[in-house]
Structure 1
């Protein structure tokens, strides 16, 4: 058997993605290669696809796990089976992985066709229709569980819009109350209203974004102006300090102090006498206060 696979990430909760995928009979409304899915009963369905030729089979559901997996296998017609697995990546993100395997309908010639490029062609179609499914889900209202609520049904590449569905599919759609002319008109009006609402919301969001950008730009300008003023103030203060340093350097020194500094460098003791004239005296008496001497009285003669 030949195997194919495809994957896509849908921006919606896993329960909604799972529920919308299980409406097989709505596949021709948004997929391109599925021309018919009609129900025999709750477990059996009839499929018609067109990929380099038209193929049909009856299928029975198997291995269904709510919000996790759906599966099927053919019971008549093109021999095939498949699984679709759903995995929540977050509250609003779901991974969808599709796995198909089938026996080429023309035996060895079909296998030769796979080797000549049909395999890659089918992979591209499968991936493309899986992206159509993701868009159908994302353009449905939040929490919607019926594909008919999605704005993406009957897009230009869908089999139904191109008129490529089978007579049985067309008859089944005609019996669907949601496909009556009145229901379709109401649906179209809702789509128009919803599109207008989304456009208004988008315009409001863009306006809010522009206002936020303008405020951030104004705030940045104010901060730049403050920083520029502070830089000017710092330069002025530095200039004033430089002027003060230069002015201090030009004050004439006392020649005696200059000589004293020079003389001390040479070890001249006279250089220190200017400030300490008693330096040559005994250290114990050099700074002692000298008491005035009292002259002796001359002897008196009697």
Structure 2
């Protein structure tokens, strides 16, 4: 049974900075609670180590769609099924400050009783919302992104470079 969760947040930073930070997969452990390590293999492929319910799991995931300042989508390629997307929408606050609305969606197949129960009672959604809050705090306190990749990926293939 596949479980889906969504979470959203407004970040007080321009869309290019927020998007750029999200392309820095290796920094995810700094603000995504379950993520222990992300290794960037190439422009499309990553290797993840996560801790869920006290159990470590590792898997590969590929970026399947990536359009600068708009959208990133990924899917696991081995192990348990996991897929997701994040969308970025530029906004301007009432005070005239550039903001970005971040919308996260994740789909996965819970493994075991703890993950199934966590999904059923909304613990996963709460964790995702806390992760987005940590992401917001991370980029707002820094005053900008740690790097960025501006290439495009469609159907799991790089179609435009970031140069």
Q: Under TM normalisation by the shorter chain, which class is it? A: 0.7 to 0.9
Q: Secondary structure at the match of 1:99?
A: strand
The alpha-carbon deviation at position 43 of structure 1 amounts to 1.1
- Please give the alpha-carbon distance, in whole angstroms, between the structure 1 residues aligned to 2:41 and 2:9: 29
Q: In the TM superposition, what whole-angstrom CA distance separates every residue of 1:48-74 from its partner, at most 9, and x where no partner exists?
A: 222213222100111111100001011
Match of 1:128 in 2: 130
Q: Secondary structure at the match of 1:31?
A: coil
- RCO comparison, higher one (Cα < 8 Å, 6+): 2
- Please give the alpha-carbon distance, in whole angstroms, between the structure 2 residues aligned to 1:117 and 1:146: 32
Q: Secondary structure at the match of 2:33?
A: coil
Match of 2:103 in 1: 97
Higher strand share: 2
- Please give the alpha-carbon distance, in whole angstroms, between the structure 1 residues aligned to 2:98 and 2:65: 25
Q: How many residues align?
A: 140
Q: Secondary structure at the match of 2:66?
A: coil
- Please give the alpha-carbon distance, in whole angstroms, between the structure 1 residues aligned to 2:127 and 2:56: 14
- Residue 68 of structure 2 is aligned to residue 66 of structure 1: yes
Normalising by structure 1, we get a TM-score of: 0.44
Consecutive unaligned residues of structure 1, counting only runs of 5 or more, are: 148-302
Higher helix share: 1
Q: Secondary structure at the match of 2:65?
A: coil
Contact 2:29–2:38 (8 Å) recurs in 1? yes
Q: Which of these two proteins has the greater Rg computed from alpha carbons?
A: 1
Q: Secondary structure at the match of 2:142?
A: coil
Match of 2:161 in 1: none
Match of 1:248 in 2: none
The alpha-carbon deviation at position 40 of structure 1 amounts to 1.7
Consecutive unaligned residues of structure 2, counting only runs of 5 or more, are: 148-163
